[in-house]
Structure 1
């Protein structure tokens, strides 16, 4: 039985909102950008490292060379080409001639780290694959060398959760060496798959340039915590985000303007970080890139139509068997296959049934009444599966919500490849929301 009865739009959109690598699809026949692969998922995935070039996280031609060499839909090919590029770039970073130029050191290590993360991206089907750990050790080491070479070096911190048996992994980026300058501060949390190292390039580098402190963090189900603590996503995400705000209050009160403290959630992270704001009144504004209402709707969408009734009827054993068979025999699209791999891995389960059941626990309606601060809501034109979700979030928030349309080439999920337009839009909103304090004469 061939389990490919859903439409191409359903398959491509299925996990579109989960993170800026999980797919973006155009509802019309014309793509908003020049295709880099005949596989639409790979096309989108190549835009991710290209987008990081804006802040020193990659070089353009090497990524285009990878795109040229990767066989469409071949996950092994994708891994291999980025792995080669990562090691090639690492060798350049280690060249002693670069040691005399801190910008060379910084950018080359940033690119090395990015390429190792790309090589890791599609290999989570087999949890025992040693590359899941070795590639992450490489990317972390490279990234640490890069942030050590920033004008204000970045700092990794580990924060014990006050509830739950896990430790929050975070990175602090100060915007000034002035130890008494109280500056606006942005807390950044990702979602389904992207790393906090990606968040530096997409959000923190632009924030620091604008005079904002920035801190990124990861919790259960996310890259570092999932790998080294063996814990999957939890719905009570306030237990992850509140310790980060506690740390800011306890250790950075001299440099954090508490009246200008915002939290940003990227992709699935938009839902997670809205929840943090709902339970922590110290957060004064939220940026939701993009506006997500519920996780389950997206998680169920790629499931072949003839298998959905099995899940809905609670037939776990039969549902799991048929889903895993479809994956093992390559009957799923690249997007659906990757979404299943990442869903099982990040929710720490080998059961597709359990993954989807857990997905039902993540919905903004559960806590939206507790949100009392302004929210910027991104609404990407070509993120077809979440069409309507940002508007639904806006409707629920009423005057607290600002819906911002990202169209055309900025219309991919989370504005992938259009970082400049994205940060320009939400920082303009933040500056309006948080006017600069009037200096007392």
Structure 2
């Protein structure tokens, strides 16, 4: 997403180019890119494609900036599963717009909303369910603030904001009935925190879905994009922080790995040791950039019975515009000289904030510098890591049934879902969610219930016999 700066995008050509790429226009992360070329008809299609005058028509435009708008839509859409409240979100939107849209006003407004929900309501004594869902909504609003904090006046509060959101999430989990089983699954030197949700504590063997988050999501997003839907259907659901995510990133400073099978295999081992898991029906989903991570894991972890990429992603590096990608060369010194001497000095504040956010999951030094209000100096190392996430050559190893999701006006990885689908040799299906029912944009932020219906209907068909 993007940050708003009052600075005009003027100056040298490189400055103007970068301002257009990652400034107010939001082209790095949003701005409704479309897939190039055309593709043959998929095996199945969800909803009729119909555009209504732009990616976010009418009431779907909360903010003029597409990056802030996308985040606001995620909070608004989460209301369907109790991870947001329409009135709270729209009131916050009005507050931000009245103050003047910026990373500062957005972060401050949603942080305060999270703080308010962690306190008891003014009138009456809250019951368990009230406290529980106030905590879930607080986790959502802290996550909203967290996303933009590096562009605010207090970037050093990033870990504090993460911990506030994590505390709210843990409080929500404690009050679930039954509460999820929590554990730390071995992974290198830093175990993976996991939350294992069950419909009840009967110990019945059930289908189980492992829910994988993307490059900047929080656990509350996994409630919206899988846990609640799984429990409604009698499934177990496993949520976890992997390297580059949640606790491992913000606290332990462990960044992404291109070998995601080394993350998922210990999770499958842990699940397989449980008597309440049907080990022949373990599914794996990947949301956002995890549409790359989950397929990579499934290419090597063959105990996965079904895979869903949401959306399909082959090359996360292509999510960056060519003007950013061309900085990377095989020569580390040359690359970093270009970055530090030609690019960074010309970056408008909005572009700098965006790039700090985009690169922090791939570089602990970049994250720590950003928290001090500074730009990272080593572009080569995180850029090389992002480029190494390319799974083009391993998709053919996937053997289990696979569902590839795509979205009308996909703004992060346009064209990549169809490319993944075409490369798959396993039994496969392709679904494109569209504007006809408000399910457009990356991960259908306004329609997570439709999103989950598609995913879990498909999973039940593949693993539960219909």
TM-score category of the 2 structures, normalised to the smaller one? 0.7 to 0.9
Q: How does 1:159-198 map to 2 (within 5 A)?
A: 159-161=185-187, 164-179=188-203, 181-198=204-221
Q: Secondary structure at the match of 1:274?
A: helix
Moved more, 37-46 or 356-365: 356-365
1:31 CA displacement:
2.9
How many residues align structurally? 416
The 1-side partners of 2:162 and 2:256 are apart by 19
Alignment of 1:84 with 2:129, yes or no, is no
Matched, 1:416 2:445: yes
Distance 2:173 2:117 in 1: 17
What is the rounded CA distance, in whole Å, between the counterparts of 1:64 and 1:173 in structure 2? Answer: 30
Query: Does the aligned pair in 1 maintain the 2:398–2:426 contact within 8 Å?
Result: no
Does residue 395 of structure 1 match 2:422? Answer: yes
CA distance in 1, matches of 2:121, 2:31: 33
Instruction: State the Cα RMSD in Å.
Output: 2.6
Per-residue deviation, residues 378-412 of structure 1 (Å, max 9, x unmatched): 11011145222111101110452211011102111
**Structure 1 CA distance for aligned equivalents of residues 280 and 326 of structure 2:** 50
Counterpart check, 1:55 vs 2:81: yes
1:3-59, CA deviations, whole angstroms, 9 ceiling, x for partnerless residues? 23269688767554xxxxxx3626585234431011111111101111221111111
Conserved 8 A contact 2:209-2:284: yes
1:132 match: 158
Mapping of residues 205-244 of structure 1, within 5 Å:
205-244=228-267
The counterpart of 1:360, out of the listed 371, 374, 387, is 387
The whole-number CA distance in structure 2 between the counterparts of 1:245 and 1:102 is 33
2:306 maps to: 285
Give per-residue Cα distances to partners, 1:127-163, cap 9 Å, x unaligned: 99442222222212222221122121123321121xx
Q: Report the Cα offset of residue 246 of structure 1.
A: 0.8
Q: Find the residue that maps to 1:377 and give its secondary structure.
A: strand
> Distance between the aligned counterparts of 1:417 and 1:433, measured in 2?
27
Counterpart for residue 290 of structure 2: 269
2:128 is aligned to 102
1:109–1:143 Cα contact (<8 Å) kept: yes
Among 320, 335, 339, the alignment partner of 2:339 is 320
Using a 3 Å threshold, how does the CA distance of structure 1 residues 220 and 406 change in structure 2: closer, same or farther? same
> Could you say if the C-alpha distance between residues 138 and 407 of structure 1 is closer, same or farther in structure 2, counting changes exceeding 3 Å?
same
Candidates 3, 17, 40, aligned match of 1:5: 17
In structure 2, the CA distance between the partners of 1:166 and 1:127, relative to structure 1 (3 Å rule), is farther
Q: Is 2:381 aligned against 1:369?
A: no
Cα deviation 1:240-274 (Å, max 9, x = unaligned) = 11111111012x2x211112110000011111111
* CA distance in structure 2 between the aligned counterparts of 1:385 and 1:139, rounded to whole angstroms: 25
Q: Which runs of 5+ in 1 are unaligned?
A: 17-22
Secondary structure of the residue aligned to 2:284 is strand
8 Å CA contact 1:4–1:331 kept in 2: the answer is no
What secondary structure does 1:85 align onto?
helix
Partner SS for 1:70? helix
- Distance in 2 (CA, whole Å) between partners of 1:390 and 1:220 is 24
2: distance between equivalents of 1:270 and 1:248?
A: 22
| 1:325-336 superposed matches below 5 A | 325-327=345-347, 329-330=348-349, 332=351
SS of the residue corresponding to residue 366 of structure 1 reads coil
Deviation at 1:220, TM superposition (A): 1.3
3-state DSSP class of the match of 1:208?
A: helix
Cα distance in 2 for residues equivalent to 1:313 and 1:237: 24
Q: Distance in 1 between matches of 2:411 and 2:266?
A: 34
1:294 corresponds to: 315
Flag the 1:394–1:91 CA change in 2: closer, same or farther, 3 A. Answer: same
Unaligned runs of 5+ in 2: 1-11, 35-50, 367-375
Q: Measure, in 2, the Cα distance between the counterparts of 1:170 and 1:15.
A: 32
